[in-house]
Amino acid sequence: MKRLLNMRDATKELNILRALDTYERPFSVKGTYRLIDDGLRPEATVIVKADNSEMHEASTGVGPVDALANVLKKSLGSIFPFIRDVKLVDFASRISDSRSGTAARVEVSIIFTDGAEIWSVAAVSDNINMASFMALLDGFEYAILLGKSS
């Protein structure tokens, strides 16, 4: 049977790249995110460093993950304009130990596309928002590496 798509495992590729002494991340986050979620219009704030610039941005979304994705796209898009074409096409979360209830570790997986390539990322944390943020960071980092190689 012919495959209809070729999805890259960006988490695996990034982990291998990060094991190399020569790898340099294209951006870093100063501290972590700030998230205000009133249940209606969440707002996320982040400080990103890239190319000797520091961007402090805020953005809203229809949910916490959307707000985090929007603020990262907004801040990274000023240095890497092609990031604006990156879309999240799937989001899933899974509790790793159902016996732990609300204290269980959560795995988040996100599928991204730039219109030409498709890649997936995954992250695990005790906090679903942090797992989402870590996965988003990896997804956008991979997008930048794809954009730089084009």
Dump pLDDT digits (tens) for 72-103.
999 999 999 999 999 999 999 998 777 777 77
Q: How far is CA 144 from CA 1, 17, 24, 36, 140, in A?
A: 32, 14, 12, 27, 6
Q: Which amino acid is at 75?
A: S
The tokens of 29 are what? 């986050």
Report how far residue 98's alpha carbon sits from residue 109's, in angstroms, rounded to the nearest whole number.
18
pLDDT, average across residues 6-18: 96
pLDDT tens digit sequence for 106-120 = 999 999 999 999 999
Calculate mean pLDDT across residues 20-31. Answer: 96
Task: State the pLDDT at residue 131.
Answer: 96
Domain 7-149 class, CATH top level: alpha beta
Q: Give residue 5's pLDDT.
A: 83
Note whether 46 and 71 are within 8 A (CB). Answer: yes
Using CA atoms in the order 66, 72, 76, 77, what is the torsion angle rounded to 10 degrees? 20
Q: Tell me 132's DSSP state.
A: H
Burial of 20 (0-12, 13-18, 19+ CB in 10 A): exposed
Cα–Cα distance between 6 and 120 in angstroms, integer? 11
What is the spatial distance between Cα 60 and Cα 71, in angstroms, rounded to a whole number?
7
Is residue 104's pLDDT more than 70? yes
Report H helices in 26-127: 64-77
